[in-house]
Structures are given as C-alpha cells and as structure tokens.
Structure 1
C-alpha cells in the first residue's frame, strides 16, 4: 500500500468522498438556515460559537471568518463553558452549538443552561434527531453519510461539512450587510490583501525621491539626477507639468547612438508620452498599469502637476506583488 499509485488513489477517493458530501449539503439547506441568518443579522448582540473536540476547532475558524466579515463573534469551548466560561454569553447574544452527533455529554449539559438563559440557539449538527437537534431553535443540517477515514471514525468529512455551513452563514451575512472591499480592508489592515485594498499611490511615492529636470537640462545633469534618485528615472517638467520622462534605458540607448553627448539636453533624449498615475489611485492600480506596459516606474500626478515616482520595488516591499 506504500506505492505512489496506491497513495494517489487514496487521496483522490478522499477528495471525491468529501466533495460529494459537500455537494449534498445544498439539498439539506432549508428555512431554518434562512431564519438563522436573519436572526443573527437582526441581533443586537454577538454570535457565541461553541463545540468540543474537532468541532471546537471548526468553531474557532467560523468565529474568525465572521469577525473578518463584519459579524462580531466569540469562541466558547463547550467544556470550559460548564466550568465557568458560561459568563461569556450576554443577554442579546446568539449561540451556535456545533456537534456531529449532537449527543456528547458536554453538549447535553450545556444546552439546557443556554435555554434557561433565554438565548436563541442554532445547531450545526449531522443528526437532527439528536438531543442538540431537538433542543435548538434552528437546526442547520450538516449530515454526511461517511467519514473519509476508512474506519468511519476520525472526523474528516463531517468537520469539512461544518466548516462549509459556517462559510455559507458568513457569506450570507456579508451579502446582507453590504460588506464592501473597503470594509474588508478595515478589518485586514496588516496583510497583503488589506494593503491592496487601502494603500494608495501617494502612500508609497511619498517615501521616494522626486527626480526632476527641465527641458534644457544638459545630459550630464540628467545622469546625476537619475543616479541620485535611485529610481532609474526622472521626470522632465515645465512649470511643474510633466512633459517627458527619461529612464536608465533611454540613457543606454543614447550612448549606443552618439559618441559625444556634449550639448545634448533632456529634450533630445526624453520619451514624450510617459505613463502617469494620480496620487489618489490605489497602489494595486499602479501595479496593474506597470504589468500591462512592462515598466517598473510610473510618474505620479496631483491635480495635473508632477508629484513624484512610484517604483515596482515599493509594491514588492509592501507585499502587493
């Protein structure tokens, strides 16, 4: 059984089994699901999600997904809840209990305590007829016919199903709330994804030098300006308006064409149609513009005037590329 073929066969069978079980969940979604979403959306409190064993691990992931998409959520371990953590649940909170069997000892102890406190309770379970299933206000059916484990014991397919139900809840709530990419960026400011959503060109160009020459600047001074800026480029301006651009590449091409560049000015070697971007544009838009045109810098404008340079290295440093 240790051959590559047998390993690949087992892997493919596992994926196929879990895939079929997940597809079947769509047939189990009913009005309880819609009403549970409406309950959470209208609630003035938080969502408290609890479970034990592998279901507790899934609960923590669902909590993270809800929090990151605009629905305040808190994880409460079922075992800890009956030993003091039940105080996490406030009056307006909605409780979600996750359990494959719905009959674990901790769940049987916890559920009556939640009901006594008058909190609404949603069950995510693979057994609607279980203790949890019959006691919950709403039941989200996460039934799976078989675990991927050959002994039908290790939680595999069942925990995947629980996770998918949680994702479906989160996405429905996200849509109802009108949660936008700007909202997402507010909750994810530190990661590369968040930076793509909130970083603007000015945030990056402002840390760079601002190389600039005039039309009549001689080539030697142009070379010095480009070298000192460390950006491989300079803008050519007139009354602070961009009229051209000179890059390292332009200088190399000039050297292949002339033996003596005495008397040459910026106007003689510049490109007259540089790619520019407004400083208020998103940094990710600058990235796309660079990729589309195969360039590594863009001249930045503000109200039609030259404002600086954004370089591909700025984007790389921030993890946007």
Structure 2
C-alpha cells in the first residue's frame, strides 16, 4: 500500500507506490468463475436430457444399421468435435472417418460410398460448407443425421434425422467462444455412438479387442493371455526332496521364482518359492534340503483360473504381497503361472 502523505505525481501520472493486488482474492475470483462455467455446462446437459425427442432414436437406428462407414463432418470447433467422435465410433466397432466439407468437394468425396451414414455437426445449422455438401451426399445415396441447435434450420430440414439440442449460452465473459455448444455436441455424439453399438450387440470381448494396449486393455485381458505355460513352468511332486527338485528344475532361459508342487493325482498341493529357499538357508536349516518339499512348501496358495480378469489376479497379488500365482483348471491341476516380472509395465 502507498504510504500516507505521499502525493500523486504531477500531471496525474502513476503513484510512487501502486497498491499490490491481493493474490488470494484473484485466485478465489478465478475459482468462482470456473465453477459458474462448469455449472452452466452441467445445466445445459441436464436440459438436453429432457429435450431428447423421437428423432434421437431414429438417428441411433440409422447409425446402428449403417452397412458402411459413419462419415462425420463439421467446420471449425464443430469439426474438431467430429474428429473426436470418429475415435469414439471406432472404439465401439462402428467404422468411422472424418470428412472435411471443403476437402470433400475437392476430391475427398471419392471415399464416400452408398450405404454410408453422414453425421453433420453445426450449431447454427446454416454452415455454408455443410449445406453445399448435402446434395453431393444425396447423389451417393448417403443418408445424413444433423446435430444442431435448431431443428428448423436448413441443415435440420434437409437431413433424414435431426438431433436438436436447443439454444445454449456459451461460457466465458463474452459468451461467444464455442464452449457449451461443443460440450453438448460431444455428449450427444458419444451417446449416439454408444447406443448404436449397444443396438448392434457390442460385447466386452469385442470392445477389448479394439483396446489391447494401456490400462484399459489390461482391464479387459484374461489371465490366460499373460500366464506362463508349457516348458516355462516349474512343476514337481510334493514328495521330492528340495535338493532333487531344484536340480531337476534347472534350465536355461527365462525362469520363475516358484515351483508348483502337485500330489499323486496331479492337483496343486503347494508352492515353493525362492523366498522359501532363502529363509531355510538363513536359518541354517541345510538338512531340510534333503527332506520332502511338502514339509516346507506353502500349502493352499492363492490361485487364479485362466478366464479370470487379469486385473483381478493382479489385485490379488498386490493385496497379499505375493510375486507368483498358480493358475489352475476346474480339477485344481496347474495349467499356468502368473509371475510379477511378466506383468510389470503391461498397463502402460
């Protein structure tokens, strides 16, 4: 603050000491403004839910029954939303592509085929580039769905189905930048894609096949896809001595830190891990090496089954702080093994 008694500079210039803004007040103001914008967007979506009409169902049916590709188009911010929606449609097994309306009339219409369905996004419903595209699509026997604010707009009247979301107020101090309108377009497009996929009978397995990577892919994978099998497994009879068991299990290549021990019927009886061996040696129980493994093995270890979601098995390993989980069939016979070293980095 300016010390008292100091006059302003002659001619109305800046004061010698200008008041410092209150950073806390500025931060609180920004938070309040952001909350108002987000609330406005949420309110617009609530109102949209109550406005949906029969044409929405018609649009879902057109998309679900599309024998070709869903062609999405828009200009400016609406075009960017259309490009994002292409990703949504593809992820739920509905082939889709983006068609810029300007590029379309300069050759890209060659990618459009009879039987495709066009989804055209325009807040006003009067976007000139889209209106110019409509007769070209009709010539190719492509039906169109309009996503716009006004059902009585030119675009709305010319399309086979129109999903109209009504007038919305854009967020921000000027209320001009496309914000609420694009939020509504995005929500509507996602809903159309998901419901069309549901109508086609999309299964979790189909969805998983489209998302093999990252954390989402990991959630949809099964234990069978990650477990070790065949020669990568270390199996032994529970009555074998630890020494002979370890000697017979020695092999080149990738190894696991656990031997699965079975009974006379081949069912899982227990697990002997590297940690079990270390504990014996640290306790100087060398004589135990010539005793049956059944005397020191872990009985009743945690197990998984081949079709179990891999995420569940990983959670089990994390909750119980274990590095290996035997995988057994319905008869409790070992058919695989999950090793923590194989799972590191799977969700990246």
TM-score range, shorter chain: 0.7 to 0.9
Partner of 1:289: 316
Specify the SS of the correspondent of 2:114.
coil
The CA deviation at 1:217 is 4.0
The alignment status of 1:313 with 2:335, answered yes or no, reads no
TM-score by length of 1: 0.86
Query: Residue 125 of structure 2: which of 96, 102, 118 is its match?
Result: 102
**Number of residue pairs aligned between Structure 1 and Structure 2:** 320
For the structure 1 residues 230 and 114, does the alpha-carbon distance in structure 2 shift closer, same or farther, using more than 3 Å as the test?
Answer: closer
RMSD: 2.9
User: 1:155-174: per-residue Cα shift (whole Å, max 9, x none)?
Assistant: 11111110111011012112
Once the two structures are overlaid, the 10-residue window that deviates more, 25-34 or 242-251, is 242-251
Specify the SS of the correspondent of 1:317.
coil
The alignment status of 1:235 with 2:260, answered yes or no, reads yes
Partner of 2:69: 46
The CA deviation at 1:13 is 1.6
CA distance in 2 between counterparts of 1:150 and 1:136 reads 34
Once the two structures are overlaid, the 10-residue window that deviates more, 44-53 or 158-167, is 44-53
- For residues 54-203 of structure 1, the aligned pairs below 5 Å read 54-201=77-224, 203=226
Query: Residue 13 of structure 1: which of 30, 36, 60 is its match?
Result: 36
Partner of 2:10: none
User: 1:103-153: per-residue Cα shift (whole Å, max 9, x none)?
Assistant: 122123222333444432211011323221222221111334211132112
CA distance in 2 between counterparts of 1:111 and 1:153 reads 27
Contact 2:44 2:180 in 1 (8 A): yes
Specify the SS of the correspondent of 2:151.
coil
Contact 2:227 2:336 in 1 (8 A): no
Once the two structures are overlaid, the 10-residue window that deviates more, 206-215 or 309-318, is 206-215
For the structure 1 residues 201 and 209, does the alpha-carbon distance in structure 2 shift closer, same or farther, using more than 3 Å as the test?
Answer: same
CA distance in 1 between counterparts of 2:58 and 2:238 reads 69
Contact 1:233 1:247 in 2 (8 A): yes
CA distance in 2 between counterparts of 1:123 and 1:280 reads 43
Query: Residue 53 of structure 2: which of 9, 21, 30 is its match?
Result: 30
CA distance in 1 between counterparts of 2:169 and 2:225 reads 55
Query: Residue 271 of structure 2: which of 234, 241, 245 is its match?
Result: 245
The CA deviation at 1:234 is 2.0
Contact 2:59 2:145 in 1 (8 A): yes
Specify the SS of the correspondent of 1:276.
coil
User: 1:16-57: per-residue Cα shift (whole Å, max 9, x none)?
Assistant: 111111111112210111111112222323221111111111
The CA deviation at 1:231 is 3.5
Once the two structures are overlaid, the 10-residue window that deviates more, 267-276 or 234-243, is 234-243
Contact 1:211 1:225 in 2 (8 A): no
For the structure 1 residues 219 and 120, does the alpha-carbon distance in structure 2 shift closer, same or farther, using more than 3 Å as the test?
Answer: closer
TM-score by length of 2: 0.80
For the structure 1 residues 168 and 117, does the alpha-carbon distance in structure 2 shift closer, same or farther, using more than 3 Å as the test?
Answer: same
CA distance in 2 between counterparts of 1:4 and 1:309 reads 54
CA distance in 2 between counterparts of 1:6 and 1:230 reads 60
Specify the SS of the correspondent of 1:8.
helix
